[in-house]
């Protein structure tokens, strides 16, 4: 049974930091690129970041570039999203997702429809 379980969300003041974790099980984690998406109320789900199977290649949305860092630990089957300098506009439910890609980072990583597996989401709220 495939599972992606996010944790680490919460309420933080603007300018603060949070680290999201996503623990995977039920599939060959090291054969998947992993991504983070977010969805604010009334908005569509949007791409945040993604990394290749070994974390060697990464991609970020312009809105988070320089503030967020994605990383992964294949031994722990976990992907992380370190979020610094948080802004009120970062408030959303954050989802991790897995995209089968045994090599490289597909050019389609920003498209939610390309992903094979999704977590249930973690709420992040940034107070201004």
Q: State both tokens at 96.
A: 């991790």
Question: In the prediction, which pLDDT does 103 show?
Answer: 82
DSSP class of 91: -
- DSSP letters for 29-86: GGGEEEEEEEE-TTS--EEEEEE-TTSSSEEE-TTTTTTEEEEEETTTTEEEEEE-S-
Each residue of 12-40: pLDDT tens digit?
999 999 999 999 999 999 999 999 999 99
CA distance linking residue 72 with residue 51, whole number of Å: 8
Find tokens 């991504």 and name the residue. 35
Residue 84 confidence class, pLDDT cut points 50, 70, 90: very high
Question: In the prediction, which pLDDT does 79 show?
Answer: 98
Q: State both tokens at 19.
A: 């680290």
Question: In the prediction, which pLDDT does 104 show?
Answer: 87
Each residue of 57-75: pLDDT tens digit?
999 999 999 999 999 999 9
């Amino acid at each position: 049974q495939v599972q992606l379980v996010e944790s680490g969300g919460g309420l933080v003041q603007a300018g603060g930091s949070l680290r999201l974790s996503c623990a995977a099980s039920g599939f060959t984690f090291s054969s998947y690129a992993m991504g983070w998406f977010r969805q604010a109320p009334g908005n569509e789900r949007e791409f945040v970041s993604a990394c290749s199977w070994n974390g060697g290649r990464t991609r970020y949305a312009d809105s988070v570039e320089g503030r967020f860092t994605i990383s992964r630990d294949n031994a722990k089957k976990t992907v992380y999203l370190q979020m610094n300098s948080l802004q009120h506009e970062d408030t959303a439910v954050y989802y991790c997702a897995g995209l089968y890609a045994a090599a490289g980072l597909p050019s389609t990583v920003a498209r939610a429809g390309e992903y094979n597996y999704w977590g249930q989401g973690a709420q992040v709220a940034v107070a201004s």
